[in-house]
Structure 1
Amino acid sequence: MKKEEKREIILVTSNENKFKEMNSIAQNFNVSLIWFNIPKVEIQADSLEEIVKFSAIIAYNQINRPLIVEDSGLFIEALNGFPGPYSNYVRRKIGMEGIIRLLEGEKNRKAYFSTVLAYVDSTQLKLFEGRVYGSISTEIRGTKGFGYDPIFIPDGVNLTFGEMSTEEKNKYSHRAIAFRKFLEYLATYTV
């Protein structure tokens, strides 16, 4: 019996941590994830969907091969969903410490992480969303992960993403949820 060949899919990101997280999942789906370490072009928009659609189309026009791009945001209830699609910018400007200061004295620390992943090829553009609910810690905890991982505690767990290994984080993560949805779709899809 002939062994099934691995499918290849390109991930466009300049973030090596995102590649590592997603690559560990891809292995379980007989998918070879190819990392294109190029910055994705992003528009400033109020929704992750708009941002990722634009990025995917630009990347596809440059590479001309089936690919995925993703964008994630941290949405904090007490801050009316801030920083949302501006999460990366806000992290660079005020950091996790700034988010903790904004929530100082706030009892409602509910938040969610959302990822929207776009797959594009010559015939379609399809979106996949992953979301994980949790809360913002009162202090930075853990040195693993990236972004806001050391201040986000998923519901049902007492650890921040920053205190979890990649394998542990992938059990809960918004990115893992979106990527698994895409991989399940890919398993049944033929170009």
Structure 2
Amino acid sequence: MKPPTVYYATSSPFKRAEIDILRKEPLAVGEGADPTPIGDYCDLQFTNVATNEPLEISLNKMVDHKVRSAYRQLLTPCIVEHAGLILEKQESTGFPGGLTQPMWDSLEAQEFLERVGRPGEIAIAQAVVGYCDGVNVWTFVGETKGKLAAEPRGKREFYWDTIFCPDEFGGETYAEICEQPDGLARKLTVSQSAKAMRQFVEHLRNHGPGNLFANVF
């Protein structure tokens, strides 16, 4: 059976590269886990459609609005994603969360470390995937714990990959990991984005793509 087609609203070549790897990976890992490739459950197609992103600390609120704006233009089941860092001491408020990107764009890596977070500070990388079938919106949250690097490291300048060190890789930044053989695939074994995406695909497997007309009659 052909998997349902879902459009992914993103213009990022980095995200597209990650999805191209992830769609070939199993839905789940570990003993007794589903070994079926993610791409067998969901035919993800990329689209450059522009979306509206309100400034919110809450990534969930941002993504809910963002995926609705994508659906209004596409009129077909679609997903969006947004990610940010949450500093451990501000975990209760989720800061900077959805404000991470505008701060990053304004300050860039070194000043972001100097003004927003301290080197070595514990942080949570959070990604939220939003899915809209035309009737309902679901959000799926992935989180990866780590620390902020003392200085930007690595050449893959995708968002804050140069300053975030996941706990699983002994102090290396995401960007440094991606420079190694099969590094991008290794990143995806712990990535907050991959975790959120797997939750979405599992929802699709268990519940189907949804029915636009389910609540009409």
- Using structure 2 for the length normalisation, give the TM-score: 0.79
Q: 2:103 aligns with which of 63, 85, 90?
A: 90
CA contact (8 A) 1:11 1:19 kept: no
How do 1:26-105 residues align onto structure 2 when only pairs under 5 Å count? 26-27=23-24, 28-29=37-38, 30=40, 31-78=42-89, 82-102=95-115
- Structure 1: gaps (5+ residues): none
What letter corresponds to residue 184 of structure 1 in structure 2?
A: E
State the partner residue of 2:169: 157
The 2-side partners of 1:14 and 1:103 are apart by 27
The 1-side partners of 2:20 and 2:43 are apart by 8
Question: Aligned Cα RMSD in Å?
Answer: 2.0
The structure richer in strand per residue is: 1
How much identity, in percent, do the aligned residues show? 27
- Structure 2: gaps (5+ residues): 25-36, 178-182, 211-217
**Structure 1 stretches of 4+ moved >3 Å:** 78-82
> Any idea what the Cα deviations from partners look like across 1:57-111, whole Å, max 9, x if unmatched?
111111100000111111123567543211111111111111222378x575100
CA contact (8 A) 2:57 2:96 kept: no
Give the drift of 1:145. Answer: 5.5
Using the TM superposition, name which of 23-32 and 163-172 deviates more: 23-32
The 2-side partners of 1:109 and 1:161 are apart by 16
The 2-side partners of 1:173 and 1:98 are apart by 24
State the SS of the aligned residue for 1:149: coil
Q: Does 1:141 align with 2:153?
A: yes
The 2-side partners of 1:95 and 1:33 are apart by 31
What letter corresponds to residue 16 of structure 1 in structure 2?
A: P
The 2-side partners of 1:67 and 1:176 are apart by 17
CA contact (8 A) 1:14 1:40 kept: no
> Any idea what the Cα deviations from partners look like across 1:112-156, whole Å, max 9, x if unmatched?
110111110023211100000000010111112611001100013
The 2-side partners of 1:162 and 1:120 are apart by 31
State the SS of the aligned residue for 2:82: strand
State the SS of the aligned residue for 1:68: strand
Q: 1:118 aligns with which of 103, 125, 130?
A: 130
State the SS of the aligned residue for 2:17: helix
CA contact (8 A) 1:145 1:161 kept: no
Q: Does 1:174 align with 2:192?
A: yes
The 1-side partners of 2:154 and 2:77 are apart by 36
What letter corresponds to residue 7 of structure 1 in structure 2?
A: P
State the SS of the aligned residue for 2:54: coil
